[in-house]
Amino acid sequence: MKKLLLTGFEPFLGFPINPTDEIVRALDGKTIGEYVVVGRILPVDFSESAKQCLEHFNEVKPDAVLSLGLAAGRSKITPERIAINCRDGAEDNRGVKLQDSPIEEEGPAGYFSTLPIRRFVDVLVEKGLPATISNTAGTYLCNNVMYAVLHKVAQDGLDVCAGFVHIPASHELAIAHPKLPSWSGSDLENAVVAMIEVLG
């Protein structure tokens, strides 16, 4: 059986919950398609998130990595096309704010996702779940984790597909932040399951 490292994030920036945390906990240990899911939650912390993600990677030795993050305000599931070598944006959960900071001093400008993102979108839409490719994962923690995993895979020459998918807010979050578009928790989870099934 192949192993999938599925990551989510803790709550951040005034959002009382992070739906990725709930999905990862729900799917941890499940077998989906050809994969057994190993779920891990990452901190929203510039000095820790990529480090911890790579520690999980080394421990799990996954065949594929699917990382999830909340993109509050987006209305669709958005597989990310590219991660860029930059950290910038709001304060993290430890109060650290970075500007124009490279993730890897000597690293390339960016990495394309090696997940089948076009197929993800096609399958989700066929199932009636709105999805579109996103061409920016931003410069916050989600981009940081996506870049760090793809950098490791490239540096070590590993046969592991990896990438990142942003998901919309859940209804629970939209109750706390009424202007946010939102999905039900079960639709969000079904979308993640459908993407894992695409992997094999």
Q: Which of these segments, 69-77, 78-86, 110-118, 155-163, binds ligand PCA (CB under 6 A)?
A: 69-77
CB 116 within 8 A of CB 199: yes
182-to-9, 132, 138, 167 alpha-carbon distances in Å = 18, 16, 20, 10
Identified binder of ligand PCA from the candidate list 4, 9, 27, 194, rule CB under 6 A: 9
Helix (H, G, I), strand (E, B) or coil at 44: coil
Specify the residue, 63 or 148, whose C-beta has the smaller distance to ligand PCA.
Answer: 148
Token pair in block for residue 66: 């699917």
Q: Check binding of 70 to ligand PCA (CB under 6 A).
A: yes
Class of residue 73 by CB neighbours under 10 A (exposed 0-12, middle 13-18, buried 19+): exposed
142 included as an active-site residue: yes
Specify the residue, 39 or 138, whose C-beta has the smaller distance to ligand PCA.
Answer: 138
166 included as an active-site residue: yes
Token pair in block for residue 48: 């820790």
Specify the residue, 11 or 33, whose C-beta has the smaller distance to ligand PCA.
Answer: 11
Q: Check binding of 84 to ligand PCA (CB under 6 A).
A: no
Minimum distance from residue 130 beta carbon to ligand PCA (Å): 18
Distance CA 38, CA 54 (A): 14
Q: Which residues form the catalytic set?
A: 80, 142, 166
Q: Where do contacts with ligand PCA occur on this chain (CB under 6 A)?
A: 9, 12, 18, 20, 44, 69-71, 138, 140-142
